[in-house]
Amino acid sequence: MDWKLDNNRPIWPQLSQQLARRIIAGVYPPGSRLPAVRELAAEAGVNPNTMQRALAQLEQEGLARADRTAGRLVTQDFAVLEAARLREAEAVIRDYFEAMSSLGYSRERAVELLKEEFQ
């Protein structure tokens, strides 16, 4: 999974979103330890302070929690994970409708096309 960063927007929200997606996708499984800030920062090619801020955001969302000995652990609270998954799904759906609308499809037509594709 590569980091995709858009320099036209603040970096840290993009980082925290992509970290969240990794957690939901199980790249970082529930209860596992997240890599150190410095490691993640180097991997994404960003400043450690920026990565720190992104991780703090994850903590605020409840997806990760700081552990005195082991750095940061991914949450094991499946309700939280499920909620995050749903949030991301909603974002994907929103994007879909936006993209379809820009192609000139109405919402109804977009839903129909989706159903046809599914069959």
Partner 1 sequence: MRDYLIECRELYKSYGLRPALRGVNLDIGPGRIVGLLGPNGSGKTTLIKLLCGLLQPTRGTLAVDGQAIGPYTKSVVSYLPDRMYFADWMKATDLFDLFRDFYADFDYEKAIAMCQSLGVEPRDRLKSMSKGTKEKVQLVLVMARSAKLYLLDEPIAGVDPAARDFILRTILTNYNEEGTVLISTHLISDVEKVLDEAIFLKEGKISLHETVDNIREKEGKSVDALFREIFRAEPMEGGAF
Contacting residues toward partner 1, per CB under 8 A: 5, 7-12, 38, 41-42, 44-50
Q: Of 3 and 105, which has the nearer Cβ to partner 1?
A: 3
At closest approach, how far in Å is the CB of 23 from partner 1? 22
At closest approach, how far in Å is the CB of 6 from partner 1? 8
| Per-residue tokens: 29 | 């499984």
Q: Of 15 and 20, which has the nearer Cβ to partner 1?
A: 15
At closest approach, how far in Å is the CB of 41 from partner 1? 6
At closest approach, how far in Å is the CB of 92 from partner 1? 24
Pairwise CA distance, residues 64 & 58, whole Å: 6
Beta bridge partners of 67: 71
Give the count of beta carbons closer than 10 Å to the beta carbon of residue 94. 10
Give the count of beta carbons closer than 10 Å to the beta carbon of residue 107. 10
Pairwise CA distance, residues 20 & 57, whole Å: 10
Q: Of 9 and 115, which has the nearer Cβ to partner 1?
A: 9
